[in-house]
A and B are shown apart, each in its own frame.
Chain A
C-alpha cells in the first residue's frame, strides 16, 4: 500500500523559551517491508536538525533552536510503500541481540499482577503463547483515552483495565519477557479504515520467536500488523521509542498538541482521477 503521513507536534510555552533541545524519533527506516519516500522533517522556527542513528537502529534527529521561541512545531511528511509480511518483521541490520529485550524497564517491570497474568500462558509454545497473550490483553484492557499517562507501568494498566495503545504494548512486553520471550516496543502509524485524522501515533509490540525472528503483535487491536502499519521506531519501552523527548530552558510550563493524518495515497489518487 501507499501510505501518506502528515504528522505535526506543536509545543507551546508559557513564556518564550530561551532554548529548546529535542530528540525526535519520527522518521521511519526503509526495509524490505516498507519503503520510505520523500520524507521530510520541518520546523516552523529556525533550528538545527542533526540526524543520527541510535543503538536500536532508529533514525534520531536532534533539534536545537536558535533563538527564544514561544512555540515550536515539528512537522514530518512523507510516503511509505508497505507490503504485507504476515506480521513477521523482515531481518534488518539488527545491532542488538534479542537477549537485550529480556531486560526489565521501570515501565515494564514484572509486577505481581503481570507475573500472575503471564503465567497462565507459559505452558504454550512461544508463538502460540504470544497470540494468546495478545488476545487476552485485548480482552482485559479496554481502549480508553485519558485514564492513563505515559508514567503508568504495565502492572498499573493491567490493574486499571483501561488504557491506550501504548499501555497495551507495555502489558504485552512485560508479560512476554516474564515468560522468557524477548519483546520490544514499536511506535508507528496505522492506516485506519474509519478516519484519516488521528489524535496520536500508534504503538504496538514485537516478540522474538526463534526461527521466525521479530513478530509484530498489536494488542490494542488484537491483530498482527499488516501492510496498513508503518514502523517508525523501536525500544525497550515507550521511552526508548518516544516520538519526541525534549527539554526547554526558561519556557515555564508547556503544552503539546498533535495533528496527524494517515491516508491511503492510492485511494486518493483514484479519487482525483475519477
Chain B
C-alpha cells in the first residue's frame, strides 16, 4: 500500500493526520463547501490569462495546453526537508566532482568505479571537453533532481537532470497563485519562501562568471526561440533575473569573446544561461546544421572567456546508465555514504540483469537509457500482454539500451478529484539545486508533479500529469 503524505496510509482521509498537514486539515474542516473547487476554477482562469502554457510534442493541433494545477498544497516538514537537502547537496557536489574528473584525470575510471567504456562511448560524453576546465570549475550550475517517496523516511532519486532542467517557473508561479488564492492559509503556516530563487540563481551565475568579467558580469538567458515548448519558462526566468533573453542569432563571437547585438552596438556577454542542448550550441563544433546556436561559441568557451550554465557535456552525469553507479560515485568522491537512495536498478547490458528483467517484466518498470518524458517506458504492472511482448523483443534486440527498476509504491498526496473531494494521488518532486564556487544551495521547495488519474504512476505533464505547490515548513 502506498504511503500517503497527509494520512500516512492510502485510504479515505479520516482522523489520522500527519504533523505537517494538521494546519491544512484544520483549515479544510472550517472551509465552506465547494471552496476548493471554486479556487481551482479561479486558478485556471488566471493561468490561462497569463498564458502559462506548454506545447505538446507530437500533438496534431500543436496547441498550447495548460498544465493542470492542483490547489491542494504538498507539504514537507522541516525535519524531512533537512534530510533531503543534505542528500541533494551531497549528490550534486559529487556530480560536479565526477564531471571534473571525467573531463580531467579520469581517476574514477582508472579506479574502476564505473566502466570506462560506459562513459567514453556515452552519447552525452563530449570529447571536445576533455582536458577543459569551465570557468570557476563548476559544471552543473543548475540541477533538477527527481525524487519519489515510498515511506516516512524513504526517498529515492529517480533521475538527476544535469543538462537544462526545466520546471522552475512552475515552482514560482504555483506559489504566487497559492498566495493569491489562499492568503489566510499562509498566515497560519510557516512556509519557507521560494521567491528568492531568482536572486539565488543570479548570485550563483554571477559567482560562476569568468574572473576577467569583473564585478558586474553580463548574464543572458539563451533560448531556442518562441517555438520551443519551454519558451514561456525561458522568458519568465530572463524577466525574473532582469537579464536579456537572447536567441543564438543575437550573439556572435569575435576574437574569442562573446557579444550580443544591441541597438547601441556590441555588448560583451560573460555568462550564458543556455536552454539549448549541447548539439545545437555551436555549428562550427557540433551539428553543422544548427541554426539555433552561435558559431564559434566553443572557441570562446574553451578560451575561458565565457561561462556556459550548465557546462557542455554534463549529460554524461544524468544518463540513465551512469545513474546506476551514482552511489559508488558519491562514495568515491565524497568519502561518505549516500544520503539519498538510488532506485535499485538492473542494467540490462549485464547478462544476469537481462535474464532477471526478462523473467520479471510484469513487475518491473523498464526504461530506455536515452528516453525522457515517460516515453519509451514500460510499466509492467499496468501494461497489456502485447505491450510486454513488444518490449521483450526490443530488450532482446538491444539490451544495452535499457534498464529495469522495481515498481515503486510512490507516495500519494491529497489532490482535488473530479467530484471536488480530496483523494490520494501519486506524486514526485523535483527540487532545484544551484552550485557555484560559493557552495551548493537548494531552493526550499520544488516542482511537485501529480498523476491526476486514480492509481496512475505517470506524472509527466505530457501524459496527463498536473502540478502542485510544494511547501517546505520552517519548523
Which A positions have Cβ atoms within 8 angstroms of B?
Answer: 19, 21-23, 48, 50, 52, 54-56, 60, 62, 64, 95-97, 99-100, 102-104, 106, 236, 239, 245-247, 249
Contacts and interface: CB of A to CB of B under 8 A. Distances in A.
B334 interface: no
Contacts of B446: none
Given A19-B254, A55-B130, A100-B121, 9 more contacts: A21-B254, A23-B284, A23-B285, A97-B116, A102-B120, A102-B121, A103-B121, A245-B284, A247-B283
B131 interface: yes
Contact of A54 (B121, B125, B128): B128
Interface residues of B, number: 28
A55 B121 contact: no
Contacts of A247: 283-284, 295-296
B253 interface: yes
A246 B295 contact: yes
Contacts of B127: 55-56, 96, 100, 103, 236
B254 A246 contact: no
A52 B302 contact: yes
B132 interface: yes
Contacts, number: 76
Most chain A beta carbons < 10 A, residue from B253, B296, B303: B296
B299 A239 contact: no
A246 B296 CA distance: 8
A247 B117 CA distance: 35
Contacts of B51: none
A55 B254 contact: no
A21 B295 contact: yes
B129 A64 contact: no
Shortest beta-carbon contacts, A-B, top 8: A247-B295, A99-B120, A55-B130, A245-B284, A21-B296, A62-B299, A23-B284, A102-B121
B402 interface: no
A54 B298 CA distance: 10
28 contacts: A21-B253, A21-B254, A23-B296, A50-B255, A50-B256, A50-B299, A52-B302, A54-B302, A55-B130, A55-B131, A56-B127, A62-B256, A62-B299, A64-B253, A96-B127, A97-B116, A99-B117, A99-B121, A100-B125, A102-B121, A103-B120, A103-B121, A103-B123, A245-B283, A245-B284, A247-B284, A247-B296, A249-B252
Interface string B131-159: 11000000000000000000000000000
Given A102-B121, A103-B127, A52 B303 contact: yes
B464 interface: no
Q: Is the interface of B mostly helix, strand, loop or mixed?
A: loop
B161 to A, nearest CB: 23
Contacts of A236: 127
A194 B158 CA distance: 63
A64 to B, nearest CB: 5
Contact of B117 (A21, A22, A102, A239): A102
Contacts of A249: 252
Contacts of B254: 19, 21, 64
B288 interface: yes
Given A99-B116, A247-B295, A55 B255 contact: no
B121 A21 contact: no
Contacts of A104: 123
Contact of A100 (B120, B253, B296, B299): B120
A95 B288 contact: no
B59 to A, nearest CB: 27
A95 B127 CA distance: 10
B129 A55 contact: yes
A55 B284 contact: no
Nearest to B256: A50
A22 B283 CA distance: 11
Nearest to B261: A249
Interface string B90-130: 00000000000000001000000000110011010101111
A19 B252 CA distance: 10
Contacts of A23: 284-285, 296, 299
Contacts of B303: 50, 52
Interface string B241-276: 000000000001111100000000000000000000
Interface in B278-315: 283-285, 287-288, 295-296, 299, 302-303
A145 B236 CA distance: 52
A50 B288 CA distance: 21
A77 B123 CA distance: 37
A72 to B, nearest CB: 15
B255 A64 contact: yes
A106 B279 CA distance: 12
Nearest to B127: A100
Contacts of A60: 299
Contacts of B283: 245, 247
Nearest to B287: A106
A102 B117 CA distance: 9
Contact of A55 (B128, B295, B299): B128
B296 A55 contact: no
A99 B120 CA distance: 6
A246 B129 CA distance: 20
B130 A96 contact: yes
A102 B127 CA distance: 12
Contacts of B252: 19, 21, 249
B305 to A, nearest CB: 11
Most chain A beta carbons < 10 A, residue from B256, B284, B288: B284
A20 to B, nearest CB: 10
A249 B253 CA distance: 11
A236 B286 CA distance: 12
Contacts of B295: 21, 246-247
A54 B252 CA distance: 20
A54 B132 CA distance: 10
Nearest to B130: A55
Given A55-B132, A100-B127, A239 B288 contact: yes
B296 A97 contact: no
A246 B125 CA distance: 24
A245 B297 CA distance: 13
Contacts of A95: 130-131
Nearest to B103: A55
Contacts of A22: 284
